[in-house]
Structure 1
Amino acid sequence: MTFELLGSDFFGYENLLTAPERAAIVKLRAYLEAEVRPIANGCWDRAEFPTQIIKPLAELGLYSFGWDETRPFENSAVFRGFVALELARVDASVSTFVGVQNGLAAGSLAACGSAKQRAEWIPRLASGEIVGAFGLTEPLSGSDAAQGLRTTATRSGDSWTLNGAKRWIGNATFSDVTIIWAKDTADNQVKGFIVPTDTAGYSATKIEGKISLRAVQNADITLTDVVVPESLRLQNANSFKDTAKVLRATRAEVSWAAVGNAIGAYDAAVAYSKQREQFGKAIGGHQLVQDLLVKSLGNITASLGMVVRVSQLHDEGVQRDEHSALTKAYTTSRMRESVAWCRELFGGNGVTLEYNVARHFADAEAIYSYEGTQEMNTLIVGRTITGQAAFV
């Protein structure tokens, strides 16, 4: 299989990838087109996740690339970003699944686990043997998670008792293990725990009626006197600053997924503009249609430049919270704008799943909101610019 640049990669950022990275992208792209694209609309419509793809994605290395314990070959954050882009370009729900499994669950272990914990759990996640979830957001705590967590952890000897609730937890209806973040009642600091989902007192209930990322299995979690041993406490998670280490990396990858989701809508719009005829010719030959496509491509190109650079900063070890925050705020805004333009190009056909733009249009709303809202990311960057916190 040969490597071809995406038509939407107008400045050729994919040329930054190494030969092994390109080969991995070619394999991933072929799998997604053959196995995921044909079922994506149906799964979205039925609000079902295609669990049959979990192991094949593991075999492609999608849960392995970032970690010393499982990395199949040397690779960059830019490459891992392009993986997120490819996934979202075909199906943002699948991209979200991988982001939770790899970035949030395995990422928590990589950033905050002991060497023993990393060696025990990351390979199991990487192989797809187990499915992971990440429990931070709560019914009454989202943007204020740093101070507002209500889930508690109380230590007694060599065990901890967790009580509380979590909401919007991706993968949680079928996860084998969930990373739960809770406030230690002794020192009021946020700690992380590896919680097997068959532990007594743990329950997860699917959230129904979503209009976005419908194939993602989000759940409400309740924790009632859930007892976990000290050995399952993330040994290097001692405050919310440690939690933020995980979010710094995943927020950047969500930005890549935002670009991918915009590209998915753009690709569909370009194809449609060449096929749909009005006033005696393909609509792609009309000025106003070309204007929509060019504006969308401009947003995609600018966003690609930003995500590539923030990933390079990650590889250089100098990426900061405000870098991820600005990238998430900008790229998701441009995505939201672009998918609306692309949907507009389809007219009435743009509101049906059949034409492969409606799903990207709807999924943009969730991507815009999760991993830090527009407002919170703006305030993080604003604090850096002015030196003053405006969070309250």
Structure 2
Amino acid sequence: MAGTFSKLRNAYHLFKSIDFKMLARLSEKVDLSKVMASVAQMDETQLNGLMKMLTARGGKKKQPPVDGDFYDISAQLNAEDRALQLKVRAFMENEIQPLVNEYWLKAEFPFEIIPKFRELNICGVTYDGYGCPNRSYLMEGIIAMEMARVDASIATFFGVQSGLAMGSIYMLGSQAQKDEWLPRMQQLETIGAFGLTEPEVGSGTAGGLTTTAKRTGDTWVLNGQKKWIGNATFADVIVIWARDLDDNQVKGFLLRKGTPGFSVEKMHDKMALRIVQNGLITLKDVRIEESDRLQHANSFRDTARVLRMTRASVAWEAVGCARGAYENALAYTLKREQFGKPIASFQLIQGHLVEMLSNLTAMQTMVFRLSEIQDEGGLKDEHASLAKVFCTLRTRDIVGRAREVMGGNGILLEYNVARFVADAEAIYSYEGTKEINSLIVGRAITGHSAFV
């Protein structure tokens, strides 16, 4: 008797929750008498299950957070580093995100952010002294990812300043040069650039630089051109790499802004990294004192040391670019409705999202270990090159899928994926193309060099 009463009570509460208008619509689709008969035969467990199912369908589903760190890699950071990561993220989201599309479209640099950047105190993050934070290479990578997650152009500006320019002086400069430049560069009071690539020489810089340097007493005379030089249009100091005519070795020079014979032309019509101010530099009988030659840069092997150090950060930038595209695309699919429901509920969309997340997670774990190796002092060229190859390749795939799930809206700047699609192409090419980095890895694993 008690069991029968319990069934009737549950059935009563079940149908009490359904209004009469809905019953009328339901009666047009099903035989309600049969439904009632089936419900009457259910036991307690079945009725509770039916109630739970109907309640779940009627209520609003809790939406998971939009987060590209699926394996919770950030949990491996200590409290201090995690706090810095979140500080950089807040800066990028609050200060950069609101203006980035406008400046990207205009191909201009937002100089007003430099004082705000200074407050972060993260330039030269891995260096010891000169006001630098002296954090880990892992933290340097995390910072690069957080920047590129919002905008790869800003990440590139910072990478040139903190990595290539400051790194060249920190690793290869004299003590006097370090004392003069690094404290001001750390505070972004002095902006740096790195001049290696030339109009006709990209991958062949190890042995084919056409920019030359000739020593006359305590003065060097430089002639040639440099192309694709980020920050060049407004830099206060540019590290210029040139071939010494006497010994045919590559040497580094600190070119001061305003030096006679130096001119720079802004490059226009780029489809990627449009905020970065790339310049075409022309050097015509530029005279540089011996005291402004990087005293410990005597061959391309020394140049390669700087590139090895910074190439890991470029892999992290690729991760950030991919993560930004993935997270924006995921958020879009949760809001965008077609056929009466969010497109995130469609199987094909979920397939794309999972492919994107799989690649992103593999990239994150790879660069995390790469930075650990760098912090342990065991980083080799092939380690950085493998990460650069894999991460930039996967980034291209991720940004492409992100644009795809957004349909036509994916090509509009306002939806914050189109920039990533374009910028991924630049990251794919700079700091060593896929082909060159593949040959570096190939040489390491086979023992045979396939370079020409």
Into which bin does the TM-score normalised by the smaller protein fall? Answer: over 0.9
- TM-superposition CA deviations, 1:237-273 (whole Å, max 9, x none): 0100000000001111000000000001001101101
Structure-to-structure mapping, 1:309-328, within 5 angstroms: 309-328=369-388
Find the counterpart in structure 2 of residue 304 from structure 1: 364
Find the counterpart in structure 1 of residue 200 from structure 2: 140
1:365 aligns to 2:425 (yes or no): yes
Number of paired residues? 388
1:262 aligns to 2:314 (yes or no): no
CA distance in 1, matches of 2:386, 2:124: 27
1:62 aligns to 2:122 (yes or no): yes
Find the counterpart in structure 2 of residue 128 from structure 1: 188
Higher relative contact order (CA 8 A, sep 6+): 1
Find the counterpart in structure 1 of residue 91 from structure 2: 31
Find the counterpart in structure 2 of residue 183 from structure 1: 243
User: Which among 294, 298, 302 is matched to residue 234 of structure 1?
Assistant: 294
Structure-to-structure mapping, 1:215-254, within 5 angstroms: 215-254=275-314
8 Å CA contact retained: 1:69, 1:122 = no
Find the counterpart in structure 1 of residue 68 from structure 2: 8
Letter in 2 for 1:151: T
- TM-superposition CA deviations, 1:72-96 (whole Å, max 9, x none): 5452111110000000001100000
The runs of at least 4 aligned residues of structure 1 exceeding 4 Å deviation read: 71-74
1:88 aligns to 2:148 (yes or no): yes
Q: Secondary structure at the match of 1:221?
A: strand
Letter in 1 for 2:175: A
User: Which among 15, 21, 42 is matched to residue 81 of structure 2?
Assistant: 21
- TM-superposition CA deviations, 1:15-53 (whole Å, max 9, x none): 222222112122211111111000011110000111111
Find the counterpart in structure 2 of residue 354 from structure 1: 414
User: Which among 172, 179, 187 is matched to residue 112 of structure 1?
Assistant: 172
Shifted more, 219-228 versus 60-69: the winner is 60-69
Letter in 1 for 2:261: G
8 Å CA contact retained: 1:169, 1:218 = yes
Letter in 2 for 1:45: L
Letter in 2 for 1:142: G
Q: CA deviation at 1:354?
A: 1.1
Q: CA deviation at 1:275?
A: 0.5
1:276 aligns to 2:330 (yes or no): no
CA distance in 2, matches of 1:28, 1:70: 21
CA distance in 2, matches of 1:79, 1:360: 23
CA distance in 2, matches of 1:281, 1:6: 18
Shifted more, 18-27 versus 176-185: the winner is 18-27
CA distance in 1, matches of 2:178, 2:367: 28
Letter in 1 for 2:158: V
8 Å CA contact retained: 1:58, 1:64 = no
Q: CA deviation at 1:71?
A: 5.2
CA distance in 2, matches of 1:307, 1:204: 35
CA distance in 2, matches of 1:70, 1:356: 37
8 Å CA contact retained: 2:389, 2:434 = yes
8 Å CA contact retained: 1:258, 1:335 = yes
% identity of equivalent residues: 54
8 Å CA contact retained: 2:124, 2:133 = no
CA distance in 2, matches of 1:74, 1:94: 22
8 Å CA contact retained: 1:65, 1:71 = no
CA distance in 1, matches of 2:272, 2:415: 17
Q: Secondary structure at the match of 1:293?
A: helix
1:333 aligns to 2:393 (yes or no): yes
Question: Unpaired runs of 5+ in structure 1?
Answer: none
- TM-superposition CA deviations, 1:160-203 (whole Å, max 9, x none): 11100000000001111100000011100000001012100111
Question: Unpaired runs of 5+ in structure 2?
Answer: 1-64
CA distance in 2, matches of 1:126, 1:82: 18
CA distance in 1, matches of 2:146, 2:300: 31
Find the counterpart in structure 2 of residue 292 from structure 1: 352
8 Å CA contact retained: 1:62, 1:98 = no
The structure having more radius of gyration, on CA atoms, is: 2
Letter in 1 for 2:215: R
Q: Give the root-mean-square deviation of aligned CA atoms.
A: 1.2
